[in-house]
Structure 1
Amino acid sequence: MNGMTATYSPDDNKLRLYSMTRLDSETYTRVKTAGFKWAPKQDLFVAPMWTPAREDLLLELCEEIGDEDTSLVDRAEQRAERFEDYSDRRAGDSQKATAHVKSIADGIPFGQPILVGHHSEKHARKHAEQIENGMRKAVKMWDQAKYWTSRAAGALSHAKYKERPDVRARRIKTIEADKRKQERTRKEAEKFLKAYTDPEARGVTLKDGRELLPALLVTWEGGLSHEDTRRLEDGELDFETALEMATAAKRRVIEWCNRWISHYDNRLSYERAMLDEAGGTKADQTKPEKGGACKCWATGRGRGCWSKIVKVNKVSVTVLDNWGNGGRDFTRTMPFDKLSALMSAGQVEQARAEGRILGEDDRSLIISEDAPAKAPTPAAPEAMPAEIQAMKDSLKAGVQTVAVDQLFPTPPGIAAYMVELAEIEPGMDVLEPSAGTGNLIGAMGGSMFDHNPERGSVTAVEINQKLAARLETEFPLTAVHCADFLEWTGEQFDRIIANPPFVNGADIKHIRHAFGMLKPGGRLISLCANGPRQREEFKNIADLWETLPEGSFQEQGTGVSVALVVLRA
């Protein structure tokens, strides 16, 4: 069929079908039924192994089957590149999910509950759900990135492993065993076929009086199906027709076996040639000898350990082993292709003469090596980023929201404006009463202060224990007091910046109490409700009275009209 080509690779024993156009439905069904699978990244159909039926289908579609251009390692490298690309994509997805979580959490440390006012609890719980989903995605994408990285390394490692001489030698043994199985099947079919086609067999009878050919036809190996066997026994199928059917079946079996045997012969020729090119196994390079030594899986794990060879067999050696429980030594048979290193008897004697044998018993030798090969240090697994680990730990308990009464955090823009009006200088003592989430402390740059009186200080007062604990965590240089500000008596301050509660005129009480804590020349910058009582109380004595734009606290869950007042002591 035009536009279609087929290839076979002895490296992996797979058939591949390439098509320049989309297969029609009938051809696609035949290809899928034959066991071919579509590989989208390679843009081809591939069968997991060669079979005569699949070869016949490809010959029908393409007229010939060519050699695959790429080797097993080449394909593994291409596969590893795809896996690395998958890994990079998942790592990028993890970073995006992490950034999204940060944008929603707005600086809240992982593992801490989200503290909100009762008015915005529903909105906050929705945010909590978004944060938790984002954290799960970030962790999942990071895990998938590491998975694809390990898959890439595994693809290359597996391809190189299959090319190792000892692995190839064992593969040759497997192919030889499969070939012998087909030869046995063919031999059995030839016996039946000889009986079916031999004219003299028609008159032969068995000891029990039955005729030979009818008796053979009803056996399991006779060549008839179960249904045809039943029909023959019931007289529904005549003997001559049954004999023709069985004869044709045996000829098909022989032809099928011949194709498999021919295929195995070709594979063996290829594998043996590749093994010879690689120099053969360790046993091919150094012939095993009695009195020599070898390394195998039964050898001790210490440096320089070798097992003594007590007998050399046709395809294996015999070594001594011990369970290590005080019992006697016993023998183990090790195939040549399971030996990782060999020393001849002469080499062992030379090592003994040179004084390089450091220890010896009936089973093993410890031979000093002039330049012992150091095992490559395995690469340390990439540590999980701190952010991902924090998310993973937080997910164990889930993202929590805690409602706090009368909590209306100061919007960042307004907080920055209030700090600008305060004109804070190093060395000043600053207070934020009813600090809440500490937005005003963050806006004033709390890191520039500490508890050194010469450099000034920042003090926060908050009645809610959870909010106070959060302030201590986020602003370690701030002196945090968990108390009701209206009952708290502290020191005098150069600057006081406040966003007090508004309920029932509480803002008026807070501003009065805060004003009494100002040092001479000190300044109080506070928000308050833009109501008649507040204007009557503060507007005439304020350095500044500014009505904030409508909706300034819309995102905080309230549409109350807010004013900003600046008072000077």
Structure 2
Amino acid sequence: MLGSWYLPHSRDKKAPTAMLEALADRLRSAGFTVTLTIDNNDRRTFAEAETERVERAEDRAERFGQYADNAAARSESAWKRGHQIADGIPLGQPILVGHHSERRARRDQERIDNATRTSIGERDRAAHWAGREKAAAGYAAFRKNPARTLRRIQTLKADLRAVEKWQRGESAKGQTRNTGNPETVQELAVEHAELSEQIAYWENVVAEAEKQGFKVWSKSDFQRGDYARCRGTWYAVLRANPKTLTVPHIFNGTGRTVVHADRNHYSGTSSLPYDEVTGRMSAEEMQHKQDTAK
């Protein structure tokens, strides 16, 4: 027991003041004396929190791996136990009803059946925990996947722009915030600081990935007639936009390695975000590639 109440998934985040005040009011209505103190400055940095999340995922991976090994061992033991009993029974030997051996034969049959069921059940448990182990072990790679990180940065920057509008007294995301309230002003300042910190952290992750060879594509890398690769298919670039490429509809890439700009061969267009692009070729390079492949 922690000896306290807490709000799940709230650590290292701005305190949900309205929710806490509502809880305090309900406790007061029940006869409790409540003093509500909120300090949004008493928290870990985002980098510290992220490091702990990775460490906890590694601990889970180790624990789940042990669970999987134990279940696999129990499955193997049950399988051997069942086969050991079965090996003592002559091949094809039926249960002799009325014979003095009937009771033992039925007991052996039940034991074999139970052992088989246990073996299958433990095998399934082993597979379950092995899957959990793989997911936990891949947490860091999942979180720091460059393409996914770029999308996360875009979302965070959109949230930051909304906060900055609210700070200026403007509307964002269909709502406004009362900047005449000192508490609201403080909350927005905390949100701004948290978002800025997260953006800086994830931009550093992308910068490190670039040092390892990851390419951050942009409008300046493409022109009409180039080809962009996405999920193993090359699409002709119809237009390079600030945030996306206009290409023949991605459904045209089903079962094909190259989708050209010839309108006789495609219907409709798609917007391809730069964070989903994994390669580029000029029209000349694509022509040479296809000529060589003939």
Alignment pair present for 1:339 and 2:274: no
Alignment match of 1:349 (pick from 268, 272, 284): 284
What is residue 13 of structure 2 aligned with on the other side?
51
Does the C-alpha gap of structure 1 residues 193 and 158 become closer, same or farther in structure 2, counting only changes over 3 Å?
closer
1:283 is paired with a residue of what secondary structure? coil
Residue 156 of structure 1 and its aligned partner are, at CA, apart by 2.9
Contact 1:165 1:281 in 2 (8 A): no
What is residue 257 of structure 2 aligned with on the other side?
none
**Percentage of pairs with the same residue:** 24
Of the two structures, which has the highest relative contact order with CA contacts closer than 8 Å and spacing of 6 or more?
2
Note the alpha carbon deviations across 1:383-406, whole angstroms, 9 max, x for none.
Answer: xxxxxxxxxxxxxxxxxxxxxxxx
What amino acid does structure 2 have at the position aligned with 1:356?
K
Report the count of equivalent residues. 254
1:265 is paired with a residue of what secondary structure? helix
Alignment match of 2:44 (pick from 52, 62, 65): 65
What does residue range 78-97 of structure 1 map to in structure 2 within 5 Å? 78-97=59-78
- The runs of 5 or more residues in structure 1 that have no matched partner are 1-21, 36-46, 195-249, 301-305, 359-366, 369-569
1:115 is paired with a residue of what secondary structure? coil
What amino acid does structure 2 have at the position aligned with 1:332?
S
* Distance in 2 (alpha carbons) for counterparts of 1:321 and 1:259: 42
What amino acid does structure 1 have at the position aligned with 2:95?
L
What is residue 122 of structure 2 aligned with on the other side?
141
Does the C-alpha gap of structure 1 residues 283 and 328 become closer, same or farther in structure 2, counting only changes over 3 Å?
closer
What is residue 329 of structure 1 aligned with on the other side?
267
What amino acid does structure 2 have at the position aligned with 1:115?
I
- The runs of 5 or more residues in structure 2 that have no matched partner are 21-35, 255-263
Q: Which has the higher strand share?
A: 1
TM-score by length of structure 1 reads 0.38
What is residue 546 of structure 1 aligned with on the other side?
none
Alignment match of 1:316 (pick from 244, 251, 265): 244
1:53 is paired with a residue of what secondary structure? coil
Alignment pair present for 1:291 and 2:225: yes
TM-score by length of structure 2 reads 0.69
* Distance in 2 (alpha carbons) for counterparts of 1:147 and 1:316: 39
Alignment match of 1:272 (pick from 197, 203, 209): 203
Does the C-alpha gap of structure 1 residues 97 and 123 become closer, same or farther in structure 2, counting only changes over 3 Å?
same
2:138 is paired with a residue of what secondary structure? helix
* Distance in 2 (alpha carbons) for counterparts of 1:313 and 1:161: 28
Contact 2:229 2:278 in 1 (8 A): yes
What is residue 429 of structure 1 aligned with on the other side?
none
* Distance in 2 (alpha carbons) for counterparts of 1:108 and 1:183: 79
Residue 252 of structure 1 and its aligned partner are, at CA, apart by 3.1
Does the C-alpha gap of structure 1 residues 274 and 116 become closer, same or farther in structure 2, counting only changes over 3 Å?
same
Alignment pair present for 1:262 and 2:193: yes
Residue 332 of structure 1 and its aligned partner are, at CA, apart by 1.4
Larger Rg: 1
* Distance in 1 (alpha carbons) for counterparts of 2:119 and 2:185: 60
* Distance in 1 (alpha carbons) for counterparts of 2:42 and 2:216: 43
Alignment pair present for 1:173 and 2:154: yes
Contact 1:58 1:64 in 2 (8 A): no
What does residue range 404-553 of structure 1 map to in structure 2 within 5 Å? none
Note the alpha carbon deviations across 1:111-159, whole angstroms, 9 max, x for none.
Answer: x675245245345434433322221111111222223223322333343
* Distance in 2 (alpha carbons) for counterparts of 1:341 and 1:291: 14
What is residue 32 of structure 2 aligned with on the other side?
none
* Distance in 1 (alpha carbons) for counterparts of 2:11 and 2:133: 23
Q: Which has the higher helix share?
A: 2
What does residue range 335-414 of structure 1 map to in structure 2 within 5 Å? 335-343=273-281, 345=282, 348-349=283-284, 352=287, 355-358=288-291
What amino acid does structure 1 have at the position aligned with 2:289?
R
What is residue 143 of structure 2 aligned with on the other side?
162
* Distance in 1 (alpha carbons) for counterparts of 2:279 and 2:37: 44
What amino acid does structure 2 have at the position aligned with 1:52?
K
Note the alpha carbon deviations across 1:43-68, whole angstroms, 9 max, x for none.
Answer: xxxx37642128999997x9663625
What amino acid does structure 2 have at the position aligned with 1:147?
H
Contact 2:219 2:243 in 1 (8 A): no
Does the C-alpha gap of structure 1 residues 73 and 252 become closer, same or farther in structure 2, counting only changes over 3 Å?
closer
Residue 168 of structure 1 and its aligned partner are, at CA, apart by 0.6
* Distance in 2 (alpha carbons) for counterparts of 1:261 and 1:271: 16
Does the C-alpha gap of structure 1 residues 171 and 104 become closer, same or farther in structure 2, counting only changes over 3 Å?
same
What amino acid does structure 1 have at the position aligned with 2:290?
I
Residue 349 of structure 1 and its aligned partner are, at CA, apart by 2.8
Does the C-alpha gap of structure 1 residues 121 and 317 become closer, same or farther in structure 2, counting only changes over 3 Å?
same
Residue 86 of structure 1 and its aligned partner are, at CA, apart by 1.2
Alignment match of 2:95 (pick from 104, 110, 115): 115
* Distance in 1 (alpha carbons) for counterparts of 2:53 and 2:138: 11
Alignment pair present for 1:252 and 2:183: yes
CA RMSD of aligned residues (A): 3.9
Residue 283 of structure 1 and its aligned partner are, at CA, apart by 0.4
Note the alpha carbon deviations across 1:157-213, whole angstroms, 9 max, x for none.
Answer: 34313212111101111222333444455535877555xxxxxxxxxxxxxxxxxxx
Residue 84 of structure 1 and its aligned partner are, at CA, apart by 1.9
1:307 is paired with a residue of what secondary structure? strand
Contact 1:318 1:334 in 2 (8 A): yes
Residue 289 of structure 1 and its aligned partner are, at CA, apart by 2.5
Does the C-alpha gap of structure 1 residues 69 and 59 become closer, same or farther in structure 2, counting only changes over 3 Å?
farther
